[in-house]
Homo-oligomer: A and B are copies of this chain.
Amino acid sequence: MSRLTLALDVMGGDIGPRITIPASIKALESDPMLSFLLFGDSRQILPLLENIPAQLKDRLTVCHCSRVIENEQSLTYALRHSKGTSMRLAIEAVQKGEAQGCVSAGNTGALMGLAKVILQPLKGIARPALLSIIPTINGKKSVMLDLGANIECSAEHLYQFALMGAIFTEHTLGLIYPRVALLNIGIEEIKGYKSIREAAEIIKKDTALNYTGFIEGNMLLNGQADVIVSDGFIGNIALKTMEGTAKNLVALLSGGSHSHVRRYFKSIMQFLFKRFFKQSYERISRMNPEQYNGASLIGLTAVVVKSHGSATENAFYYAIKDAALQARQQIPAKILAGLERN
């Protein structure tokens, strides 16, 4: 692995440094070639770094700033008042070449807006997109984009998302000629918005893409496609619906009660489940939502990863690992090369 520095906005998210700092330390422990620039309030950060070994501390630089973009701020307000905030400084560090990518759990709209303005889209990219990796029922992974960066998209935009998604998938999931599908309300060619039908025609003609047709909402987790393309509105609705449904079902299955007897039987059930449905259990474990917490803003000149605002320590840790992988794989450069080849 190559040496790598990431800029972390440690103030974002619902909890801030109490989550992001332990997650950063965990990432340093697991990756000896990684360094961080930590942007945030040093009075909150420094106490959390007191007891860590010197060899880790050497790879951390605390960049103090007292200003933060709040989750509740409107996009316009946040962008106008972004100077000197932890998020903006982290992105600027990447722009100046001090770091090779950045991670934030803060206000998504502001992160996308600032990243687009400061880091700029790659040459030829009309619209950067928000991308996430999702688990599939067969124990593998798919990639979905756009998840909310662009509300309304033309056929050409969707085509660019397909290209970016395929290149991303090839290099981060290691899939050769990944299968690309467009999210639609039916699989017949006549279904859906005009922009989706036109995108299908454009994608079909590009032999660099392994286009497999339309995919419906009920097939998103079935591993039928490696790259699932939609506009940001539809992708956002689909992703959140999946998350909500899974969370609710798991909550129902774990039961609401906490009496001792029930807890006892629950643990027996879990034991039996692990023992006799090992494969299913492992698949569910692999579907651990913390691993799928990060969303990447792709189509920019550098790596930007957004972690959930309600991220746990593990979830923020995985977001950092995602950013490190993308930076080392030089995803932005590969997307640029892919676009130029077309």
Residue in A234, A240, A243, A273 whose Cβ sees the most chain B Cβ within 10 Å:
A240
List chain B residues, Cβ under 8 A from A244.
216-222
**Are B222 and A252 in contact, with the CB atoms below 8 A?**
no
Closest to A265 in B: B276
Closest to A76 in B: B190
For A279-315 the 0/1 string (1 means CB < 8 A from B) is 1100110010000000000000000000000000000
| A152 vs B193: C-alpha distance when bound (angstroms) | 8
**Are A245 and B221 in contact, with the CB atoms below 8 A?**
yes
For A179-211 the 0/1 string (1 means CB < 8 A from B) is 000010100101011000000000000000000
For A31-66 the 0/1 string (1 means CB < 8 A from B) is 000000000000000000000000000000000000
**Are A217 and B246 in contact, with the CB atoms below 8 A?**
no
List chain B residues, Cβ under 8 A from A151.
185, 192-193
Q: Does A248 contact B (CB under 8 A)?
A: yes
For A242-259 the 0/1 string (1 means CB < 8 A from B) is 111111111111111100
Q: A252-B283, A256-B279, A279-B257 are in contact. Are A74 and B221 (CB under 8 A)?
A: no
**Are B185 and A251 in contact, with the CB atoms below 8 A?**
no
Closest to A237 in B: B217
Q: A151-B193, A266-B276, A272-B268 are in contact. Are A245 and B241 (CB under 8 A)?
A: yes
Smallest Cβ distance from A15 to chain B, in angstroms?
A: 19
| A104 vs B310: C-alpha distance when bound (angstroms) | 45
**Are A249 and B252 in contact, with the CB atoms below 8 A?**
no
For A116-150 the 0/1 string (1 means CB < 8 A from B) is 00000000000000000000010000000000100
Q: Does A177 contact B (CB under 8 A)?
A: no
**Are B217 and A239 in contact, with the CB atoms below 8 A?**
yes
**Are A193 and B237 in contact, with the CB atoms below 8 A?**
no
Closest to A261 in B: B276
| A232 vs B185: C-alpha distance when bound (angstroms) | 9
Closest to A264 in B: B276
**Are A217 and B236 in contact, with the CB atoms below 8 A?**
yes
List chain B residues, Cβ under 8 A from A257.
277, 279
| A265 vs B269: C-alpha distance when bound (angstroms) | 10
**Are A284 and B252 in contact, with the CB atoms below 8 A?**
yes
**Are A240 and B221 in contact, with the CB atoms below 8 A?**
no
Of B190, B247, B252, which contacts A280 at CB under 8 A?
Answer: B252
Q: Does A262 contact B (CB under 8 A)?
A: yes
List chain B residues, Cβ under 8 A from A283.
252
| A219 vs B236: C-alpha distance when bound (angstroms) | 13
Smallest Cβ distance from A92 to chain B, in angstroms?
A: 26
Q: A217-B244, A245-B245 are in contact. Are A185 and B236 (CB under 8 A)?
A: yes
Given pairs A137-B252, A185-B233, A262-B277, 6 additional interface contacts (CB within 8 A)? A217-B244, A222-B244, A222-B248, A233-B234, A237-B237, A253-B280
Q: Can you list 5 pairs linking A and B with CB atoms under 8 Å apart?
A: A137-B248, A137-B251, A185-B240, A217-B243, A252-B287
